[in-house]
Amino acid sequence: AAPSLCRSSRRCGPRTVMRGFWSKENVSVEESTAGNVEPPSTRVEHNALNSLGGYDAVEVSSSPAAAEAAAVTSAPLPVSNASLWWRALKLPMYSVAIAPLTVAASLCHHWYGCINVPQFGALAAGACLIIAWLNLSNDAWDAATGVDANGSGGKAESVVRLLGGGAAAVSKVHVAAVTCLVFGAAALLKAAVTTAAAATGTNLAGSVGAMLAAAIALGHAYQGPPFRLSYKGLGEPICFTAFGPLAVGAFYLALAAGTGGSVWAGLPAVPSLAQPGVMGAAALVGSTTSAILFTSHFHQEDGDRAAGKLSPVVRLGLPRAVKTLRGALAAHHVLAAGMAVAGALPVMAAVGVMLAAPLAGMIEKFASARVDTPSALFKTKYFAVRWHIVHTLLLSLGCLADPWMPWHLAAARIPGLAIGLVF
């Protein structure tokens, strides 16, 4: 009979290997039908595909003959150069550029009834170039410390390593990174500050420019000399601040400055970070973005320690880091509910956050089940990216839908669109 496919060998007999998409990795499977670790002779190494979600299961027989074959072929399969380049692109990571902008746009529509779509596109292009700069410069600066090249868990998909390593490769990567930074910063400032400057009688242009400059400066301080704050374990606070309050706040002010007026009675025409929901949503975006960075350390404890990098997993140890993740995810949802009750977040935005909660639970569940096999935790950050993306979409949809809820329609919302731009 054809073998059945299942998600867990603990539920349905034969061991299974999960296979998904996005990028490849070697995954060691050490589960048995009893839930215990199998003898080394029955372990099987698979070149599985990394995934943000969706798995198909490939059955692995646990018969004696298969165990003997597995023992012969138990060496990890090499990852192809094309697969390493695919990993190096880090396409899912560009969601951290789009998330603050998407949430800011939904809040702009919440309060002002419209979104400037061309401006949104220009800001998105600039933000993606900044992320490209961060990714490339991170590989270049890490090449100087050896954290990506050491023999205790270095990063095979480092662009510097893929270009052959050495000073020439580092120089090429630095040039590409700086090019992305220059064009990205120019696009951001032009799209953001020009519109903000149109709000006469205000200093919105100065505020937006300063916030974006601060976010970019934090990006360099995170990884570049002389600061290298990520090596001091400060990456997560920097990530929270740059992608949360600074990015969401700046994008909101830039988008809302050109609307011309609010669709709410009594709301000033000039946007402000003090408007309900802005800083609340920014905190949630910063939290989900920081979760991606935090989980990306889980499989790199040995490599970080060997390079002297005091990442959270080095400071805490892997078991405590996973417990910290569990507590942080719970606190995230408590915070969202509390802000909604206090009026610091649209109610429907909090509902969107709760709808994404099962994906947050999957991150913790996946990590907790693999604490004893750190190499298998490479995939944890992709679960975090998936939660981040869905969380952003549902949070934004909640902000868009909230003004049309009965408790607002019966109160202060003015029918129709804003005075200025329509979408």
Percent of the chain that is helix, strand, coil (3-state, to 5): 65, 5, 30
pLDDT at 29 over 50: no
Give 319 or 50, the one with higher predicted confidence: 319
pLDDT at 145 over 70: no
Closest C-alpha to 388, from 50, 102, 131, 158: 102
Q: Where do the H-state alpha helices sit in 198-273? A: 204-223, 235-241, 247-257
Dist CA 79 CA 156 (whole Å): 9
Mapping DSSP to helix (H, G, I), strand (E, B) and coil, where does residue 152 land? Answer: coil
pLDDT at 285 over 80: yes
pLDDT of residue 303: 80
pLDDT at 149 over 50: yes
pLDDT of residue 368: 93
pLDDT single digits (tens) 72-106: 344 445 667 677 777 777 787 888 999 999 999 99
pLDDT at 279 over 90: yes
Q: Which of 73-77, 154-158, 238-242, 305-309 is least confident?
A: 73-77
Dist CA 262 CA 264 (whole Å): 5
pLDDT tier at 201, thresholds 50, 70, 90: low
Pairing of strands 23-29, 44-50: antiparallel
Q: What is the mean pLDDT of the chain?
A: 77
> How many residues are recorded in the chain?
423
pTM (two decimals): 0.76
pLDDT of residue 129: 95
Dist CA 178 CA 184 (whole Å): 10
53: its two tokens: 């979600």
pLDDT at 8 over 60: no
